[in-house]
Structure formats: C-alpha cells, structure tokens
Amino acid sequence: MLSVSTRMVCIGECMVELSERADGTIGRAFGGDTLNTALYLARLGVPVDYATVLGDDPFSDEMVAAWRKEGIGTDLVLRLRGRLPGLYLIRTDAAGERTFFHWRDSAPVRDLFAAPGLATVTDTMMQAGLIYLSGITLSLFGGAAREALFALLRQARGAGAQIAFDTNYRARGWPDPVAAREAYERAFGLSDIVLAGVEDLAPVFGSADAHDAMARLRAAGVAEALIKLADPACHVMSADSDDLVIADPVATVVDTTAAGDSFAAGYLAARAAGRQPIDAARAGHRLAGVVIGHRGAIIPLASMPSPSLEASP
C-alpha cells in the first residue's frame, strides 16, 4: 500500500509543445505524458521526481525551472551537451480531439542509459515508493536500453518500490504492434498497478474488450488495474473483483490533451492518501474532467480542484 509520504518517480520525456490556435497562430509550452502526470501529482501534494534527459539549451533550462516551480524534483534530470529536446505540435478539432505531430528522433532521453549521472537515477529508484512509466516511455528505448530499463524496474521492485504502468500507446513510436505487444507483456509482468485504455490495447493486442484486458492482466500477475473505456468510465480490477466507475458528465469538452495523464495522477494521489481503488478512480475522473475543460495539457493553477478531489457538495 502506498502512503501519503511515498516518493514517486516518473520516467519519460518532456518536449517543447506547440499548440495551434483557431486563428492559425502558435503557442509554446512544454509537455509529455509522464511529465504531465508528475506535474499533477506535485500539485496534489505528492512528493515526485522526474527522470529524463535534456540538452544544455535555453528551452531545457526553462523546463527545469518550470518543474522546480511546480514542486517537481529535478535531481534526476540529466543534461547532455549540444542536444535539444524533442518537439511536437498539437492540432485540436472542433470536438476537442487532438492530433499530434512529432519531431523527436534525436531527443536526448533516448540516451538515458548511456548518460553521465545515470548512477544517481539508479540509486534514487532504489529508494522510491512508486515508479511510474508509460507505453510511450517504453517506445523511447530499443534493444539494450529497453533491457536496461526492465532490469532497473526489476531491481527497484526488489528493493520495495511499486511499479505503475500506463499503456499510453502511440503507433508512430513503434516499428510494429508486435514489438509493442512484447514490451507491454514484459511491463505487465513487472507491474503492481496498470492503467490501461481499451483504445491503447486494441491496436496492440487486437481486442478492445475490457474483460479480455482484465484476463490478460490477471494472467500476468497484476494485482490492481484500471481499464479505461471509450466512454468516460473505467473498470477497477483487483484479484477478485471488477467494478465499473462512471465519470461525472463534463459540461464542455475543450481539449482532451492530458486526460489520461491527469487521471493517472488523480488515481495515484488518492491511493497514496489511503483511499480504496474505486474511490481513487472517482478522483482520477474528477481531475481529468477539469483538465479537459481547458486548452492544453496543463491547466492554470487557479483552476485546480482541491487536492482531496472529493465530489462537489
């Protein structure tokens, strides 16, 4: 069981984010799935570090400064001379659905397991209460680097950390679905908590059925899982139960960017506060419902709900 003092580590990539406005102009920010989760965890009062690699450029400097201001630990942010972070552009349609365009093939995070300072990351992982990563995190690494990641997770789990894996899937990050399936299956086998979306699982495993997903996760030994449906609802799975948790209606959907990332933060923060999985799923839905009512991945601090994420009276 997590506790309110549990220090979490999120692993992944943050990129320069460009958002296309309705008038064709571009706004600049920063974003990445596990970074978004780390930021919302910090806003909810959870001690959290972000593990990644950036360059020595002004954009990387701005990222680190912004994360520190949000309360994210940055001791695990390694820097490589002469490198630049990845870049992506978001185009959002009238219904709030987004399309991503990426420029990230040479992003420095891909060299995490060869970067100077890796020993600091490894040592901190051994002391973490929970390590969070995503399918996108897995897609950043190939061959020996992914093997090193799995070995690190296995070692940290042996030292007492829990592993939480979000199935967030982007086809462009993988050579084919078979490679993704193999990596996901290994991640399931190392995970204590899985946050899975049927829309992620369908192209990887060939099924969008939530019960198929639960059977697969149980067979892998996963103790706790959230199966997010296409509708705003999720199945909460434990060893011997399956409960459907439906999200409260959202009046206006502006932008679905970071819906899943914020859901993960709300869920994990609630679990760290000692709440049971069903109530934690409700907390995740509530935070995601606020986030999709705003444009961009990160909502204004003033728009954040209370850290308890309790239902409105």
Active site residues: 261
How far apart are the C-alpha atoms of 197 and 166, rounded to whole Å?
Answer: 8
d(CA 189, CA 219): 9
Q: How far apart are CA 11 and CA 138, in angstroms?
A: 10
DSSP 253-289: ----TTHHHHHHHHHHHHHHTT--HHHHHHHHHHHHH
Name the nearest CA neighbour of 208 among 198, 223, 194. 198
Across 153-189, b (16+ Cβ under 10 Å) vs e yields beebbeeebbbbbbbbbeeebbeebebbbebbebbbe
Would you give the end-to-end CA distance of the chain in angstroms?
Answer: 29
